[in-house]
Amino acid sequence: MHLESSFGRIHYEVHGPDPRDRRAPDAEPLTVLFAHGVTMDQRTFASQADALKDRYRVVLLDLPGHGRSQKVDLKTDYSARTANAINELLNELDARRVVLVGQSLGSTLCQRAASLSPDRVVGSVHLGGWSLYPRTSPLLSLLKPTIALSIALFPRKPLYSLFAAHKALKPHTQAYLREVATAAGKTHILRLTLDMLRDMTTGIPCRLEHPMLICHGDHEAGFIRRHAAVWHEKQPGSSLAVIEDAHHIANQDNPRGFNEKLIEFLESVG
């Protein structure tokens, strides 16, 4: 299915019960929307869709400029425009009780989307994510030239292999990341990386008040593990989970371990 959003055509899939179906139970099922990371697509959440679709309405989308969604201008304010598009999709689906699940880039997008539409978001899950409240020091922007130059000068094939090794532990996850990174290209990686840094320093205006699950793989980069602990400490109503035998893309490295934590959280807010 496709949605003609304000940020281009978005490809998405819906699995599980539809609350608009008269045959569905009277109680509206939770809508669980998954947002993936840089260069990736909805395929990364296939194991989660299979595990949840019997109880929840699961929404998988290719973010703007990814997968089968329309290519977009990545020089624009990607985060804000994508957050608007996510809310347009939720409007289209008439989703009134939503849990947003964001992975890496998807985490920041889900936080921004929730800040725009807090009344319907009853919870969120952040895998390898970064808190947008409070915002990160503007000094982080000083890293932009160094990161841009490093990515620009790095040869393409070694860059894609490094991209995969930096984010995934298991061979099948690394193979997937090499595939999607090669298809997206260096410019895509560069522009979205810089946009994420800008998003961190811009932040969101206030703390999100809904319950959160903050999680990461046990092989995650140290600075993300440390940030997750601080985020959990400062975020009321949050829980912190470590996914064993997994790296940044923990839901693919160890889908069973991640799904157990995810289902436990959904039951607690559902």
Domain of 103 in residue numbering reads as 2-136+203-269
Q: Is the pLDDT reported for residue 22 higher than 60?
A: no
Q: What angle do CA 171, 174, 179 make, to 5 degrees?
A: 125
Of residues 167, 44, 42, 37, the one with CA closest to residue 102: 37
Domain assignment present for 21: yes
Say which CATH number the domain at 239 has: 3.40.50.1820
CA dist., res. 159 & res. 261, Å (int): 32
Residue 20 lies in a domain: yes
The 10s digit of each residue's pLDDT in 95-129 is 999 999 999 999 999 999 999 999 999 999 999 99
Average pLDDT of 211-225?
A: 98
240 domain residue, yes or no: yes
In a domain, 164, yes or no: no
* pLDDT tens, position by position, 182-196: 999 999 999 999 999
For residue 150, the tally of other CB atoms under 10 A from its CB is: 12
Please state, in angstroms and rounded to a whole number, the distance separating the CA atoms of residues 24 and 19.
Answer: 6
What digits encode the pLDDT tens for the residues 74-93? 988 999 999 999 999 999 99
C-alpha torsion 101→258→228→132, nearest 10: -10
pLDDT at res. 59: 98
Q: pLDDT band for position 23 (50/70/90)? A: low
For the cut 80, the answer to whether the pLDDT of residue 25 exceeds it is no
Instruction: State residue 12 phi and psi, 5-degree precision.
Output: -150, 160
Give residue-wise pLDDT tens across range 125-173.
999 999 999 999 998 888 889 988 889 888 999 999 999 999 999 999 9
188 located within any domain: no
Looking at every residue in the chain, the average pLDDT score rounds to 95
Residue 48: inside a domain: yes
Compute CA distances 223 → 7, 114, 173, 205, 227, whole Å: 32, 25, 22, 24, 6
Q: Which amino acid is at 149?
A: L
Whether 193 is covered by a domain: the verdict is: no
- Residue type present at position 134: P
| Count of structural domains, the chain | 1
The answer, yes or no, to whether residue 8 has pLDDT greater than 90, is yes
**What is the pTM for the complete model shown?**
0.96
Q: What is the pLDDT of residue 152?
A: 86
Report yes or no on 232 lying in a domain.
yes
Q: What is the pLDDT of residue 128?
A: 98
